[in-house]
Amino acid sequence: MRLVRLGILGSGKGTNCRAILESIRSSALAAEVRVVISDVFDAPILDIAREFSIPNAYLPPGQFRTRLEPQAESDLVRLLRDASVELVVLAGFMRVLKSPMLDAFPRCIVNIHPSLLPKFPGLEAWKQALVAGEKVSGCTVHYVDEKIDHGDIIVRREVPILPNDTPESLHARIQIAEHELYPTVIGQICRQFSTA
Ligand code: GAR
């Protein structure tokens, strides 16, 4: 089976990126990461890319806080195209994407979010679930559209909320589920790509 070419975008720690790269290294995931791009200059996700010898880039996001400036988003499309990326994987990328990216990669951008969407989109979803008194939370992998943490849901994984949970303990438990779920789902999508 041929290797589907991935581009990973992230703004932070990069633990999901690491899980994907480790799955590829162990041959559990038949894909190739062509580039890792971050809108945060010193994001640890870029260090992880370097550790795995993956080409990586910092993308200056421009003046907005929750989205990229149009020129920056066009630059992002160019970077991904130059790397021949087929599937764009958001791994803690904290900006909403607009038409330059959505038109360039129709139904070829996926995201993981730490809640059972459509509940609790946005920042610190695990904290939102705790404050709301939920008994169960989890994570969701979905196709990306123009709204925050929105788009067709591919799969959801439940994670229990325990009585003594803190925001940190709950997020850590959700992340364990994310690291198992995301490479698995990406593998399923890659199989659709490579048989299309
Ligand atoms: C993950 O928990 C991911 O679900 C979340 O950011 C974290 C990134 O962690 N994404 C969102 O909240 C998207 N709205 P990581 O950098 O260690 O992979």
Annotation marks residue 113 as catalytic: yes
The pLDDT of residue 194 is 78
114 alpha carbon to ligand 1 midpoint, in Å?
A: 7
18 alpha carbon to ligand 1 midpoint, in Å?
A: 12
The pLDDT of residue 93 is 98
As a whole number of angstroms, the distance between CA 150 and CA 87 comes to 18
Residue spans per domain, the chain: 4-112+141-156+177-195
- Name the closest-CA residue to atom 5, ligand 1: 92
In eight-state DSSP terms, residue 162 is: P
The CATH label, of 3.40.50.170, 3.40.50.150, 3.40.50.720, 3.30.342.10, for the domain at 4-112+141-156+177-195 is: 3.40.50.170
Of 20, 21, 48, 112, which is best to mutate to test ligand 1, by the most ligand atoms within 8 angstroms of its C-beta? 112
The residue from 113, 142, 171, 179 that is catalytic is: 113
Ligand 1 atom with the shortest distance to the CA of 175: 2
Residues of the chain with pLDDT under 70: none
The pLDDT of residue 125 is 98
The backbone torsions φ and ψ at residue 157, rounded to the nearest 5 degrees and listed phi first, read -125, 125
The pLDDT of residue 179 is 98
The pLDDT of residue 115 is 98
The pLDDT of residue 195 is 80
The pLDDT of residue 137 is 98
The pLDDT of residue 62 is 94
The pLDDT of residue 15 is 98
The pLDDT of residue 182 is 98
Is 111 in a helix, a strand, or coil? strand
